[in-house]
Amino acid sequence: MISPRPKLPRRKVKTDRSSNLTEKTKLLLLAVLVGLLCGCAAILLKTLIHWIQNGLRSWFNDPSDSLLLLVYPGVGMLLSLLFVRYLLKDNISHGVTKVLQAVSKHDSNIKPHNTWSSLVASSVTIGFGGSVGAEAPIVYSGAAIGSVIGRKAGLSYKNMTMLLGCGAAAAIAGIFKAPLAGVLFTLEILMFNMSMNAILPLLLSSVTATVVTYLFMGTEVQFGGSIEAFRMARIPFYLILGIFCGFMSLWFIRMTLRVEDRMRRFKNPFGRWAVCAVLLGVLIYLFPPLYGEGYSSLSLMLNNSAAEIPSLFGARLQASSWLFLIYFAAIMLFKVFATAFTNAGGGVGGTFGPTLVCGGLAGFVVARLVNLLGFAALPEANFVLVGMAGLMAGVMQAPMTAIFLIAEITGGYELLIPLIIAATVSYGTIRIFERYSIYTKRIAAQGELLTHDSDQAVLTLLKTSDLVERDFTTICYTDTLGKLVDAISRSRRNLFPVLDEQGRFQGVVTLDDVREIMFDRGSYDTVKMYNIMKSAPAFVYLDEKMESVMDKFESTQAWNLPVLDDENKYLGFVSKSKIFSSYRDQLKAVSDE
């Protein structure tokens, strides 16, 4: 008879595996929940914008009524400004940038009100005709949904950041019905260090959001068009379009940020609103396609119906082919100003939509110019579609997102080769002149940008204020050697900061500095600290970026550096060993393996 196999004591291993499995399973289940909620949020945002636009324009009976379109955007900006300033009392503009800052500065924590506040403010801004897009606000809301759910579920920083990314991916997937683009958007723009293990939760959330949108809004692509088959002979013109989109991207990024910065010189928010409202109204009066997101004009161009786009100049514009071309080039250039005025004046919206519109206009301008010059007979709808990808790749510096988003929202997979060509060339062109995207340029200047470089990303996450060691025994610069010896007997450190009566840092004394005289009792009352203290090789400030701190350690070869506040008062020391230890802990926290 065979005796039964004895049970091995594997309880501890089983518990650990169960814990890991539970954490991963919880993440996957929450990713589906986040996708469901973000899909509903995308539907809600689209519906609110549609209701507001129809409610404002459905009663127009006379052409003179359309003059209200010049006033509506300013009213929407004002309502959004009042909502943000007096109800929220928080800055919710530039949603994608805010998400990046949440990951780098706030441990992926986003405030609960951001799950809905961006939806309300952006629907009013865009519904009233603000010349911005709804995509950045929905990304902010989606990321907030993921962050809040991850926090409530007690997830680690790594998994909460993952769930935040799931929310952003689901938001893009839901608003565009483009699941693959949602995943790529998160990988290219938001997430700095992810392995293939991250793909599954991102896919689950994106597909879930897309299915929700399909159920309520149909499966049709957002921008159907009259697309012709790809021809090899047109590759040189797609290369030209890519270069043009690269330079247009440079114009878009720098001019948008510059105009917003200029407008913010008006310290009074209502004065700034008034200036921006007037300037935006004038632009919309001269160029009616600047009203709202501009997606209707984009659809007309994709269907070879650019002549139906409204114009103040009417028949005169149609009579001259060159004037028609100049008109569209002007819309392309001034869309940047309209977007900047809307955001600077108190509106809440993103640059995602304007990027698509400007890209479509860039493709139309290039194709129409080539056709007028007689170099070729190019299908303008094809170039409108490819131009959308070219400008997005340049402005966002995310070529993969641009390629597959445009393919998904237009059904233009047959133009995949031109999409790749234009996006790649545009991205390569702008990288010569500009390292950062429109989302990252400002926060990179502040030293708060996480990158795909793991070392740089971890340094960005480390905060000097968290690394200060305060257990050093301080002495006054007028104290005697006897008092120092007494301090040495009570301290576990061999480093003693020397301060003045106001707590300002004066120097440092080490055990090695007094080893030869500390047993000479005759010197206890005669030797003062200012006689033996040494200056610190460098100082560190409490809010200093870790990259700068590491540069100081490298240049001075020091092991400890004093930390001061803005008034040069001593706060403690930061050491290489503490930084290295925290670096390892942070790397483990953000690692996906």
139 and 287 belong to one structural domain: no
Q: Are residues 297 and 265 in the same domain?
A: yes
Domain boundary among 217, 245, 275: 217
Q: What is the pLDDT of residue 191?
A: 66
Residues 241 and 271 in one domain: yes
Q: What is the mean pLDDT of residues 412-418?
A: 90
Q: Which of residues 395, 422, 452 is at a domain's end? A: 452
In one-letter notation, the amino acid at residue 268 is N
**Is there a single domain that holds both residue 205 and residue 238?**
no
Q: Tell me the whole-structure pTM to 2 decimals.
A: 0.78
Residue 344: per-residue pLDDT:
93
Same domain for 336 and 395, yes or no, is yes
- Is 86 within the bounds of a domain? yes
Task: Answer yes or no: are the C-beta atoms of 97 and 439 closer than 8 Å.
Answer: yes
pLDDT tens per residue across span 223-266:
877 888 899 999 999 999 999 999 999 999 999 999 999 998 88
Q: What is the CATH number of the domain that holds 578?
A: 3.10.580.10
Please give, one letter per residue, the 3-state secondary structure of 112-175: HHHHCHHHHHHHHHHHCCCCCECHHHHHHHHHHHHHHHHHHCCCCHHHHHHHHHHHHHHHHHHH
Mean confidence (pLDDT) of the chain: 86
Distance CA 407, CA 377 (A): 23
Tell me: do 436 and 488 sit in the same domain.
no
Please indicate, yes or no, if residue 161 is contained in any of the structural domains: yes
222 found inside a domain: no
Among the ranges given (24-33, 91-100, 452-461, 512-521), the one the predictor scored with the smallest mean pLDDT: 452-461
Same domain, 156 and 28: yes
**CA dist 319 to 173, 304, 322, 376, 380, Å?**
42, 18, 9, 22, 19
Tell me whether residue 324 is in a domain. yes
Q: Which of 256, 305, 247, 271 is nearest to 428 (CA)?
A: 247
* Cα–Cα distance for residue pair 180/207, rounded to 1 Å: 8
Q: Which helix (H) or strand (E) holds 337?
A: helix 321-344
- 287 and 341, same domain (yes or no): yes
10 in a structural domain: no
Q: Structural domain of residue 176, as residue ranges?
A: 21-57+65-217
Residues 150 and 109 occupy one common structural domain: yes
Domain match, 445 and 464 both: no
* Residues 198 and 271 both lie in one domain: no
Total structural domains within the chain: 3
The CA distance from 423 to 496, in Å, is 59
Q: Indicate whether 143 and 79 sit together in one domain.
A: yes
Give the model's pLDDT for residue 516. 78
Helices (H) and strands (E) in the chain, counts: 24, 6
Answer whether residue 305 shows pLDDT above 70.
yes
Q: How confident is the model at residue 57 (pLDDT cuts 50, 70, 90)?
A: confident
Q: Is residue 4 a part of any domain in this protein?
A: no
CATH number of the domain to which 243 belongs: 1.10.3080.10
Final residue in a domain of this structure, among 403, 421, 452:
452
